[in-house]
Amino acid sequence: MLASAGVPHRLEPWGEAWTLSVPEEEVGRAREALEAFDAEERAPVRPPVVADRPVPWVLGVGVGLLLIEGFVVTGPATAASRWFERGAAMAGLMRAELWRSVTALLLHVDVAHIAGNALATAVLLPAVAQRLGAGAGLLLVLLAGAVGNVLAAMIHSPGHAAVGASTATFAAIGMLGVLRFCSGSAGEHRRWKSWTVPAASLLLLAFLGAGRGADVLAHVTGFASGAVFGLVGAVRRQPRGLALQWTFGALAAAIVAACWLRAFVW
């Protein structure tokens, strides 16, 4: 300790003990250095605090219930449904009526359709929100789902129509895959493990998103757009501040409201 402080000293045996000698003019400095060392040794060692972010299940369940409530209002797909006429993702109209990319996410064909998407939302959205924050996660999943609908409409024939939140749920799957992969640490074993989530996501896309009547193309484009948005989220990290998260959440709600207003009013 004295050597690191630059204090000249000499240590000599004295019976069964030792004698530490310093020049008289260095006694004060040596005492301060030794007392500081003793104080540091006596200080309790506190284990590092690991911040464990809780999984925001309430967000996923809440959005899932809102989807169900929306289905109660709009009802199933029928030939005379004004909601589906103005809000479905019609491929031929998408470029001129971009609001359809958002409104289509809130329309569902029947009870089984809404039940599956509400359950998927309740499971996947909290996982995204845990990594990006509740507001940012909700906003990015919404935007990625909308972009997925636009991309699918650009590839489909003009007469193709699609509805359902599954494009957004597959966007959440792609987003989670990229976020998990980008969070993998160095080391061969950890790098191998980081590939398991993207692989599992692709399996989900293959087995759950390619069922009878499913819009496979929209699932693929949703997955791809979610992966891109997930990469942005991984680079930017979780935005700090509760106020900022509330702002992102309010923006997501405002986008949905504005799109429905545009569909019926403007």
Question: What are the tens digits of pLDDT across the range 251-261?
Answer: 999 999 999 99
Rounded mean pLDDT of 72-88?
88
What the block records as the tokens of 33 is 């250095």
- Measured CA to CA, the distance from residue 153 to residue 95 in angstroms comes to 9
pLDDT at 143: 97
Rounded mean pLDDT of 163-189?
78
- Measured CA to CA, the distance from residue 112 to residue 242 in angstroms comes to 36
HEC per residue, 70-127: HHHHHCCCCCCCHHHHHHCEECCCCCCCCCHHHHHHHCCCCHHHHHHHHHHHHHHHHH
- The lowest-confidence range among 16-20, 36-40, 180-184, 236-240 is 236-240
Q: Name the β-bridge partners of 140.
A: none
- Residue 119: pLDDT above 80? yes
- Residue 237: pLDDT above 80? no
pLDDT at 138: 95
User: Which part of the chain has CATH 1.20.1540.10?
Assistant: 57-264
- Measured CA to CA, the distance from residue 120 to residue 42 in angstroms comes to 53
* Block residue for tokens 């895959």: 177
Rounded mean pLDDT of 100-108?
95
pLDDT tens sequence across 177-226: 888 877 654 444 444 445 555 555 555 555 555 555 578 889 999 999 99
Q: Which class would CATH give 57-264?
A: mainly alpha
